[in-house]
Chain A
Amino acid sequence: MAVSALKRWAGKAPASVFVAIGEGMRERVERLFADPRIERAATPRHAAIFLIAGPMRLEDREDLRRLHDQMPHPRATLLWAAEVGEALGDAEKLNFTLQPADTSRADEAALDRLTRIWAELSDGERPSEPDLLHDEPPNPWQGIGPHGQGGKGMMGGTPYGRPMAMTADDLRDGLALDPYTARFGPFLPMFPPGLLLEMTLQGDVIQSAKVLRPPLPQAARDDASAALLRLARLLDLLGLPVLGHRARLAAAGDRPSSTLETLGRAIRWSGSTLAIRPGLGAVEGQGDLRTRFDDLLAVTGGSSAETRPELPESAHLSSLLPGLEWSEAMLVLNSFDDETLSALAVVKEDEDKDGHDHEGSGYMHHEHHGHGGHQGDGGHDHHAGHGGGA
């Protein structure tokens, strides 16, 4: 009795959805989450439904499987116009024809399906999906010493294929801390979808960054709606989800200029511009983060998005991100339009020297994608990949 009453209650909560966004689906998915019936989860740990939206690369499938297994029970998956073969087992599929006129109907269908899945899941009608991968360590244990800690004294070694952190000088202040190398992406919610970075961090300062997979191409539109969505992402990162939501609503619906004006005023009053340090993320021809933010803000005042000159050849994330602290780096990553970002995130074939310096011998073990089941292993690789990293 009591249990079924509880289940009914749970069904009234908005469906908590973790989403992996594929090719060309970013803006649609973001507009979808303006609806109060669903909630976008920051991590698979908080979600009940895994939404895979749009076409995925072959190499992303393994990450999707790992993400799936990171979700707590009860859980379900919805493939929305996604082509992932058998990677997700026999997950529910929802397809649509890509007729521009049909988009709102297709979006409504996706919303309906998500709420129905949550209703079925919460009252126990739909069984929770089992793990897709085996629950085993990603790599064999390779540490040495009585506790497998390896290397010199307490440090060193490569337990489970992950090198132990050793001290090294910090880029910013020369304080010797433990550098930590991991892969971040490709479906980390604050990353552009598809982008997989291998980064070395000291504390929260990025020491080196290397692009392993570029972001998935998105519909390159250069209109006010796209600018508003970009603004919404930055607002979310600045701790202003309320204003982000308003910007998304404005991007989704029609935009009376009065609504936009109030939004613009609220953003100016929030102190967002002051929060951003001048000169942060400056790229030749693109200005710094503050100017890019102000440009987006100007869209709420009715001016059209400004076109910026071509990027200089040398501009790349591997030179832009190092030295930045994590939250600054996330702001910088989200401040470019899709086209500029793709140009900045080209996979470089030849190893740049910076990235090379930090590579230890055990490091290559990252290549063997193991698996992180929800019950235990995966460890650092696994967590960094909230969002799917390896």
Chain B
Amino acid sequence: MTTFLAALLLILFLSVGFAGAAVADRAIPAFLAGQTAPSWRLSLADAVRLLQTQRIRTEAPDALLWWLAPALYLALAIVGLAVIPFGQDLVAIPSEVGIVVWGSCEALTIVAVFMFGWSANAPLALIGAYRYVAIGLPAMLLSMFVLIGAALPAESLGFIEIVEAQRTVWNVVRQPAGLILFLMLGLAISLRGPFDYASPEDLAGGVTADVSGPGLLAWKIARLTMLVSVSAVTATAFLGGYLGPILPGFVWLLLKTAVVLLVLIWAGSVFARMPPARMMSVIWTMLLPLSFLMLLVVGVELLLWG
């Protein structure tokens, strides 16, 4: 029964989150650019426009993967969200190793993006695809260390235990730098701003450069859904998830997710993207060692005061 209720809540969470993300994705950049707030109808109008546009076929595309890639991306976003608890026993897919499930969703996102860029059989899309693999791989590695740091106080890989361990103090207090690193992963996994190496301006849209109409719409939907999921995971791992007074846990999680989502969209618009080679060396030589160090610090902290 609770699983059924959790599944319903999952659908509700996804719809509300997605609608909010679609509006915020237009509103925040417009606000930062000093324009008047665009109407909420604009996102819908754009979707309808894409739906009515012809779907283009390039020369010798990998048609099957081209269809599958957005579906896989969307599926990963939904599966990743399904292990997130909305309450103490309220989770769509109860898992004792929630972090591992989420981690595999992260890793497979690289595959989904590569498939999408690969299948158009076009150079700019392909460059976007393997560039993303090069940056995505160390970024996902990074997130795993950060998540293990979040799991240490709970002594469990399950998200429910991780949330319960935050009853005394949220993980963001234990490791603020971890949150920042995880937000970077959020940008990378939802192909956004400073970590959008798959579809940047300098590749004329990269993996989407040869995609038109419904295919492009599907990709955009998957991307926004992943943004919602990664925000929810961040809220759960660092901001106490469903914990909070008075209001039901579901609402608390939704509110915290909204805050993370807004921060991600904001960060995606205000920070510059490094050329990939420079970003690679930053991740491998600075951020990854930093994440090791933080893991160590959390461990020592727990040994001494845990």
Q: How far is the CA of A162 from the CA of B303 in the complex (A)?
A: 63
Q: Which of B53, B56, B122, B271 contacts A48 (CB 8 A)?
A: B53
B9 shortest CB reach to chain A, Å: 30
Q: How far is the CA of A380 from the CA of B121 in the complex (A)?
A: 8
Tell whether A212 is near chain B: CB-to-CB under 8 Å.
no
**What 1/0 flags go to B31-61 for Cβ under 8 Å of A?**
0111110110110111011011111111110
Residues on A with beta carbons closer than 8 Å to the beta carbon of B196 = 239
Q: How far is the CA of A372 from the CA of B60 in the complex (A)?
A: 12
B284 shortest CB reach to chain A, Å: 15
Whether A383 lies near B54 (C-beta < 8 A) is: no
B33 shortest CB reach to chain A, Å: 4
Tell whether B205 is near chain A: CB-to-CB under 8 Å.
yes
Tell whether A109 is near chain B: CB-to-CB under 8 Å.
no
Q: How far is the CA of A364 from the CA of B64 in the complex (A)?
A: 33
Q: How far is the CA of A245 from the CA of B209 in the complex (A)?
A: 21
Whether B51 lies near A6 (C-beta < 8 A) is: yes
Whether B209 lies near A331 (C-beta < 8 A) is: no
Task: Closest A residue to B281 by CB, please name it.
Answer: A277
Whether A242 lies near B33 (C-beta < 8 A) is: yes
Known A12-B42, A379-B121, A380-B122; judge A72-B212 contact (CB<8 A): yes
Residues on A with beta carbons closer than 8 Å to the beta carbon of B49 = 10, 13, 16, 48, 122
Q: Which of A9, A42, A73, A240 contacts B53 (CB 8 A)?
A: A73
Which of A100-108, A215-223, A263-271, A348-356 contacts its partner? A263-271
A326 shortest CB reach to chain B, Å: 6
A173-227 residues with Cβ-Cβ distance < 8 A to B are: 180, 182, 188-190, 201, 203-204
Give the size of the chain B interface in residues (CB under 8 angstroms).
60
Whether A13 lies near B276 (C-beta < 8 A) is: no
Residues on A with beta carbons closer than 8 Å to the beta carbon of B193 = 239
Tell whether B25 is near chain A: CB-to-CB under 8 Å.
no
Residues on B with beta carbons closer than 8 Å to the beta carbon of A301 = none
Give the size of the chain A interface in residues (CB under 8 angstroms).
67
A-B contact count (CB 8 A): 189
Q: Which of A14, A42, A379 contacts B59 (CB 8 A)?
A: A379
Whether B202 lies near A327 (C-beta < 8 A) is: yes
Whether A13 lies near B59 (C-beta < 8 A) is: no
Whether B57 lies near A269 (C-beta < 8 A) is: no
Known A12-B41, A46-B216; judge A72-B54 contact (CB<8 A): yes
Tell whether B174 is near chain A: CB-to-CB under 8 Å.
no
Tell whether A261 is near chain B: CB-to-CB under 8 Å.
no
Task: Closest A residue to B197 by CB, please name it.
Answer: A327
Q: Which of B32, B196, B211 has the most CB of A within 10 A?
A: B32
Task: Closest B residue to A203 by CB, please name it.
Answer: B130
A179 shortest CB reach to chain B, Å: 12
Residues on B with beta carbons closer than 8 Å to the beta carbon of A180 = 123
Q: Which of A11, A239, A245, A376 contacts B33 (CB 8 A)?
A: A245
Residues on A with beta carbons closer than 8 Å to the beta carbon of B44 = 9
Task: Closest A residue to B279 by CB, please name it.
Answer: A275
Tell whether A246 is near chain B: CB-to-CB under 8 Å.
yes
Q: Which of B51, B209, B213, B269 contacts A240 (CB 8 A)?
A: B269
A239-283 residues with Cβ-Cβ distance < 8 A to B are: 239-243, 245-246, 249, 266, 269-272, 274-277
Residues on B with beta carbons closer than 8 Å to the beta carbon of A379 = 58-60, 121
Whether B274 lies near A10 (C-beta < 8 A) is: no
Task: Closest B residue to A378 by CB, please name it.
Answer: B59
Q: How far is the CA of A120 from the CA of B31 in the complex (A)?
A: 30
Residues on B with beta carbons closer than 8 Å to the beta carbon of A65 = none
Tell whether B106 is near chain A: CB-to-CB under 8 Å.
no
Whether A36 lies near B35 (C-beta < 8 A) is: yes
Known A204-B276, A379-B59, A379-B121; judge A190-B41 contact (CB<8 A): no
Known A42-B205, A328-B275; judge A13-B57 contact (CB<8 A): no
Whether B120 lies near A383 (C-beta < 8 A) is: yes
Whether B269 lies near A9 (C-beta < 8 A) is: no
A289 shortest CB reach to chain B, Å: 10
Tell whether A238 is near chain B: CB-to-CB under 8 Å.
yes
**What 1/0 flags go to B148-181 for Cβ under 8 Å of A?**
0000000000000000000000000000000000
**What 1/0 flags go to B59-96 for Cβ under 8 Å of A?**
11000000000000000000000000000000000000
Whether B55 lies near A72 (C-beta < 8 A) is: yes
Q: How far is the CA of A43 from the CA of B216 in the complex (A)?
A: 12
Whether B123 lies near A6 (C-beta < 8 A) is: no
Whether A42 lies near B204 (C-beta < 8 A) is: yes
Task: Closest A residue to B28 by CB, please name it.
Answer: A242
Binding site for B on A (CB under 8 A): 6-7, 9-14, 16, 36, 42-43, 45-46, 48, 70, 72-74, 122, 180, 182, 188-190, 201, 203-204, 236-243, 245-246, 249, 266, 269-272, 274-277, 325-328, 330-331, 372, 374-380, 382-384, 386-387
Q: A11-B45, A73-B53, A249-B33 are in contact. List 13 more A-B contacts (CB 8 A).
A: A12-B42, A13-B49, A42-B204, A43-B204, A45-B212, A204-B131, A237-B202, A241-B29, A243-B270, A277-B278, A326-B127, A326-B203, A383-B123
A-B contact pairs, 10 of them (CB 8 A): A190-B201, A204-B127, A239-B194, A326-B202, A326-B203, A327-B275, A328-B277, A331-B202, A380-B59, A386-B204
